[in-house]
């Protein structure tokens, strides 16, 4: 028993010793690391690093790195960091808030920079902001900006170029972008967001061979934002794994030479905005519902349907929709409000122009249009007694006109065939059996009797009413 007791005590002591050491070990691993322009700014004098004619200053208490007209041309080297990553600005174990003052630049493009990032934040959040719309130009051989956390961009101007083969432009776990202008050129994806991508009051000018904006598993929401995006080799111009909502005065010019301009496997909502879309596949496509409200949409496919929703497409409000497709049996399902319409073109089918399509059916994963006209008769020529008239049917919601149909002649009025009677007044004399007139006409007697009876009835009715009213 004593030996067992001693073993238990020894084991407990060892556990306590290990637990006692653990906090100091974790703390050592979590010491913030921040390199700027190839130098450890945390260890630098006054936490300041000279960057060309400008400078970078770090405040550890607020995790704020101020770039004041900085010109950065160096990056971390092997051995500087616990990982093998390289970056002109490289942060580990700390969130990073970058504040831009004036015009700043990071230039680490070229073969000597060994796939270095412009800005890299390891497993933490990144914020880039400015009080007076400061600017930052980045040219790098890897992603210009990469954060393994949320990326917030507020009131700045960014000009980003990722020139190395297959390098994406910018990436993060999620994005929140406000009041900013972003120009991006890359040799891979444009912007990659693992989760939600939210943007407002901003402008994007993105050209890349693959997806311009790729939201892998989240929603894309844009308000009062301009998009000028185009890709040439693969993927969509704008893609989101969940819902896409673009609203509040946004403007979108999006083109994908090999795919859709805009696509999501879930729902799309376009509200009070303008869209000019072009794709090899549908210009805009959703596997879920698509709603177009108070918006102008021009969508074109060079080899497919112009607009395609696998579910329901609803056009409401003051919307103008033009869809052009090639090689498709039908175009889309639509339930517009009064006054709305859609202009479409599919295999030269003119019956789909300016029409309400009120029914659809699924066949082989495609929605084929079944259009039912709303017809009324139009008189081309009124019929007369001598000539037939002409009429045709017209659809009140599209340009359809039916073939001319004759209207029967009018039937003239036919005079009556009744002839005057040939009977003459009777010459017969009164029968001797009829008593002579006494001066009292029998008809007169009958009328007098009827009047007497009616008078009695009125008297009785009045009496009954009087009794009833006086009870």
C-alpha Rg value of the chain to the nearest Å:
44
Residue 304: its pLDDT value, please? 77
Residue 442: its pLDDT value, please? 46
Ranges of residues in the chain with a pLDDT under 70 are 1-29, 78-85, 110-114, 165, 325-374, 396-400, 414-471
Indicate the pairing of strand 87-92 with strand 33-36.
antiparallel
What tens digit of pLDDT does each residue of 271-312 get? 999 999 999 998 999 988 888 889 999 888 888 777 887 777
Residue 109: its pLDDT value, please? 72
Residue 367: its pLDDT value, please? 35
Give the predicted TM-score (pTM) of the model. 0.68
Report d(CA 384, CA 370) in Å as an integer.
39
Residue 325: its pLDDT value, please? 67
Report d(CA 199, CA 179) in Å as an integer.
8
351 CB-contact burial (10 Å; exposed 0-12 / middle 13-18 / buried 19+) = middle
Report d(CA 210, CA 166) in Å as an integer.
9
Residue 415: its pLDDT value, please? 56
Residue 35: its pLDDT value, please? 95
Residue 191: its pLDDT value, please? 97
Extents of the domains making up the chain = 32-188, 218-372, 375-407
Residue 374: its pLDDT value, please? 67
**What are the structure tokens assigned to 226, written together?**
């301009």
């Amino acid at each position: 028993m004593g030996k067992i007791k001693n073993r238990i005590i020894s084991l407990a002591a060892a556990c306590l010793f290990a637990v006692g050491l653990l906090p100091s070990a974790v703390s050592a691993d979590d010491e913030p690391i921040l390199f700027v322009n190839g130098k450890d700014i945390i260890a630098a004098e006054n936490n300041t690093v000279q960057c060309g004619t400008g400078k970078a200053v770090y405040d550890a208490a607020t995790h704020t790195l101020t770039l004041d007209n900085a010109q950065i041309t160096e990056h971390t080297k092997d051995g500087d960091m616990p990982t093998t990553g390289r970056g002109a600005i490289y942060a580990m174990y700390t969130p990073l808030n970058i504040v831009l003052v004036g015009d700043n630049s990071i230039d680490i493009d070229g073969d000597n920079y060994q796939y270095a990032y412009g800005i890299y934040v390891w497993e933490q959040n990144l914020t880039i902001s400015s009080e007076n719309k400061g600017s930052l130009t980045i040219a790098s051989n890897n992603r210009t900006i990469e954060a393994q956390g949320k990326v917030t961009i507020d009131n700045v101007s960014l000009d980003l170029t990722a020139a190395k083969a297959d390098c994406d432009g910018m990436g993060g776990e999620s994005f929140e972008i406000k009041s900013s202008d972003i120009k991006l050129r890359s040799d891979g994806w444009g912007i990659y967001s693992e989760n939600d991508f939210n943007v407002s009051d901003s402008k994007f000018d993105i050209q890349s061979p693959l997806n311009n904006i790729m939201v892998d598993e989240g929603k894309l929401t844009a308000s009062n934002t301009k998009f000028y995006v185009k890709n040439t080799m693969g993927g969509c111009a704008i893609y989101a794994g969940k819902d896409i909502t673009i609203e509040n005065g946004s403007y979108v010019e999006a083109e994908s030479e090999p795919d859709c301009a805009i696509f999501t496997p879930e729902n799309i909502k376009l509200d009070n905005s303008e869209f000019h879309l072009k794709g090899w596949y549908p210009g805009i496509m959703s596997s879920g519902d698509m709603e177009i409200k108070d918006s102008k949409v021009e969508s074109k496919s060079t080899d497919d349907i112009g607009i395609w929703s696998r579910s329901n497409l609803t056009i409401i409000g003051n919307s103008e929709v033009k869809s052009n497709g090639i090689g498709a049996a039908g175009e889309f399902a639509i339930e517009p409000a009064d006054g709305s319409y859609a202009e479409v073109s599919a295999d030269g089918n003119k019956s789909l122009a300016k029409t309400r399509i009120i029914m659809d059916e699924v066949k082989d994963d495609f929605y084929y249009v079944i259009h039912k006209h709303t017809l009324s008769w139009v008189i081309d020529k009124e019929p007369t007694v001598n000539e037939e008239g002409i009429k045709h049917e017209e659809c009140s919601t599209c340009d359809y006109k039916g073939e001319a149909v004759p209207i029967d002649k009018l039937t003239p009025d036919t005079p009556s065939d009744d002839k005057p009677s040939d009977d003459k007044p009777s010459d017969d004399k009164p029968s001797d059996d009829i008593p002579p007139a006494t001066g009292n006409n029998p008809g007169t007697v009958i009328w007098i009797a009827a009047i007497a009876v009616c008078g009695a009835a009125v008297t009785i009715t009045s009496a009954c009413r009087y009794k009833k009213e006086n009870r």
